[in-house]
Amino acid sequence: MKQKPWLAIFLLLALIGLPGCSGNSQAGTQAPLFTLNDLTGKKISFSDFLGKPVVINFWQLSCQPCIDEMPNFQTVYSSSTTAKILTVAIGNSSLTAFMADNNYSFPVLLDSDGQVSASYDVRYTPTTFFIDSRGQIVDVKVGPFTSSSDLEQAIKSLH
């Protein structure tokens, strides 16, 4: 019988996750507080949003699935009033041109040293946290949103 090493490799990667595509869940725990700079240098604190639902998406410019889901975040950011959407870029990438070139207007916070993503135990990107108005993590999605309707549906879980 002919062995299929590619099948074994695929199954192993599916079990442990592909870097850049999966992570771990902290649903049911309190979201860590943080303060980060946005692209203009303004300090933004997570505590400013307590009292309303928040979606936090951790991503990297070097992650193609992250880039692929950005139009979905823009669509929902432009139309949603039910939750505050924050995106946290991990690393030292220059994002101003990327945001302008793609006409993205959602907030991007810079986690240059990776401390905030570490406090959320983000192992792979993209990872999206859904946090209720009390600061409790309700759900965590690891991997990209393939449509804006999937993202909108996940936001409804916060209400």
- Return the closest-CA partner of residue 56 out of 99, 89, 97: 89
pLDDT for 3 equals 55
- Cα separation, 40 vs 76, whole angstroms: 22
- Return the closest-CA partner of residue 35 out of 99, 104, 106, 115: 115
Give residue 28's region: left, alpha or beta (phi > 0; psi -120 to 50).
left
pLDDT for 23 equals 39
Walk along the chain (159 residues) in steps of 10 and give the mean pLDDT of each run. Answer: 48 38 64 96 95 96 96 92 90 88 96 95 96 94 95 87
Give the predicted TM-score (pTM) of the model. Answer: 0.83
Task: Kindly list the structural domains of the chain, giving each domain's residue range(s) and its CATH number in brackets, ordered by start.
Answer: 19-156 (3.40.30.10)
Residue 132: how many CB atoms within 10 A of its CB?
A: 18
pLDDT for 61 equals 94
Amino acid symbol at 89? A
**C-beta of residue 22 within 8 angstroms of C-beta of residue 143:** yes
pLDDT for 6 equals 44
- Cα separation, 134 vs 144, whole angstroms: 25
Instruction: Quote the tokens at residue 156.
Output: 């409804």
